[in-house]
A and B are shown apart, each in its own frame.
Chain A
Amino acid sequence: MKVKSGLMLREIAGEWVVVPLGARVVELNGIITLTESGAFLWRLLEKGAEENELTAALLKEYDIDEATARSDIGRFLDTIRQNSLCEAEVAKEAGEVK
């Protein structure tokens, strides 16, 4: 999954926030706050990381077991999808239909 372009991750006074840039304000007028681990995942999603990559990275970075990591990542990705913060996953879905 890849988060949309035009969403800037910033650290403000120790808080992680995502701010929409330019035309992206049309879709998202406001600010999203992230935890430190959320920001860690967001940076990977900017590069288009898949769920397994996110899990591996989280396990390497944080003292957490795999089941918890997968569960947390699943919820995080769901939230991103629900808020339309990721690029459309059309190609993958089309592949699955075939």
Chain B
Amino acid sequence: MSGGWAKIYQNIINKSIIEGAPTAGFFELTSRCNFHCKMCYVCSMPEDRSYLQNELTTQQWVELGRQARDEGLLFLTLSGGEIFMRKDFFDIYEPLSEMGFNITLFTNGSLIDAEKARRLGERPPSKVSITLYGACPETYGRVTGHPEGFDKVINAIKLLLAENIKVELKTTAIKDNYREFHDIYEIADGLGLTLGVVNYVAPRREGCGTDPENNRLDPIELARYEKMLQDFRLKHTDMKKLKKVLKISVDEDVMTEKTIGDAINKLLETKKTDCVFNCTATRCAFWLSWDGKLTPCGLLTEPSVDVKKHGFLESWKHLKSAGLDVPVCNECNSCQYRKRCMTCPARLKVETGRFDRPAPYLCELSKARAELEVIY
């Protein structure tokens, strides 16, 4: 019997990559959201009937959970849109919580009231991950369209902590909020929580009314922001207390964590593979969209397989196979800035429409990182 969460997690992911087992997955329960963030890549209106009609039903999500569990799904993230927009959220969550998953919830937090926190506390997820869009109501107003959201989110965090539920905070840096990093950090620190930073804002996948490309930081602004984070982190690494409560992680999630990237690199040294994804996507991870499309990750709409038609297992087999057909970007691979670049097939596709074409936004960012000596 052994412990050590990071070690256990990495070991299971490594073995899953070798086996091609779908160990990590996202269930995108809805694309609807009560917020309307300027930079969101998937955001439909709260009561949009065309979306509501096509969302997988309660029973479909529960059944797909069973099917995925039987094929080895262990790390399950429930995401949106906003997951609490679904009136049947607990009818989906509670059966899933009895299936043997390690569950993470991605939420903006604003719809979590005392009753929902209490109910979550009865059968807690492994973690609730909440994105902070600013450090005050005014910024929440500018970013999400809902200034009242700030107080609601802070209240929700306190309610969850009072229920002994593990909470982590993230923030997505855009033009309207990146200057508030230190204030956001102070909030996380005050609550004794870790803070992750989402630095990459992707162009819109679907939804309406959002404009990620005109609201995200331009490449030079982003490189400067990352440099500021780097300096901030270096400044604090020798302060024990801060090190314990604050982990500034940039661009890391269950599919792209640095540890997993390292694991894949090690595997690539010993085992030839035709898969061009440099993360766990299609290797041992998948994204299941609100309308039942199995895709490599949340950014992509293709390759995709309809789980309603094929069921989970067949869809996963199709997806793995389709993942092998994704072409490599040779220009990126031979680029002198490759090590500083966040290029990946999904980002190239959403930025340029092709998997194998360099994305100017990412190219400029990697050059700016080199000039500023941002370690990535």
Residues of A whose CB lies within 8 Å of any CB of B are: 8, 10, 12-15, 17, 19, 21-23, 25-26, 29-34, 38, 76, 79-80, 83
* Main SS class of interface, B: loop
Contact A23 B123 (CB under 8 A): yes
Q: Which residues of B contact A79 (CB under 8 A)?
A: 1
**Partner of A25 from B2, B11, B19, B123 at Cβ < 8 Å:** B123
Of B94-102, B257-265, B321-329, which binds chain A?
B94-102
User: Out of A12, A22, A31, which one reaches B72, CB within 8 Å?
Assistant: A12
A72: min CB distance to chain B, Å? 11
CB neighbours (8 Å) of B238 from chain A are none
Per the bound structure, the CA–CA distance linking A17 and B102 in Å amounts to 11
Residues of B within 8 Å of A25, CB to CB, are: 97, 123-126
In the complex, whether B44 has a CB less than 8 A from a CB of chain A is: no
B94 engages A13 (CB within 8 Å): no
Query: A14: which B residues are within 8 A, CB to CB?
Result: 15, 19
Query: Roughly how many angstroms separate A21 CA and B98 CA in the complex, as a whole number?
Result: 5
Which of chain A's residues have a CB closer than 8 A to the CB of B18?
13
Greatest chain B CB density within 10 A among A10, A12, A15, A79 is at A12
> Which residues of the other chain, B, contact A83 by a CB distance below 8 angstroms?
1
CB distance from A54 to the nearest CB of B (A): 15
Range class of the B interface residue count: 20 to 34
Are A26 and B16 touching (Cβ within 8 A)?
no
Give B contacts to A, CB under 8 Å. Answer: 1-3, 5, 8, 11-12, 15-16, 18-19, 21, 23, 72, 74, 94, 97-102, 121-126, 164, 166, 284
The answer to whether B164 and A34 touch across the interface, beta carbons within 8 angstroms, is: no
Q: How far is the CA of A26 from the CA of B124 in the complex (A)?
A: 6
CB atoms of A13 and B16 under 8 A apart: yes
Residue contact A12 to B97, C-beta cutoff 8 Å: no
Question: Which residue of chain A lies nearest to B127 when distances are taken between CB atoms in the complex?
Answer: A29
User: Contact between A31 and B8 (Cβ–Cβ < 8 Å)?
Assistant: yes
| Cα(A83)–Cα(B2), bound, Å | 12
Cα distance A33–B6 in the bound complex, in angstroms? 12
The CA-CA distance from A13 to B14 in the complex, in Å, is: 9
Contacts of A15 in B (CB 8 A): 11-12, 15
Q: How far is the CB of A23 from chain B (nearest CB, A)?
A: 5
Distance A13 CA – B5 CA, assembled complex (angstroms): 17
Given A21-B97, A21-B100, A29-B126, do A12 and B2 touch, yes or no (CB 8 Å)?
Answer: no
Q: How many angstroms from the CA of A33 to the CA of B8 in the assembled complex?
A: 7
Q: Quick one: given A12-B72, A17-B74, A30-B5, are A22 and B97 in contact (CB under 8 Å)? A: yes
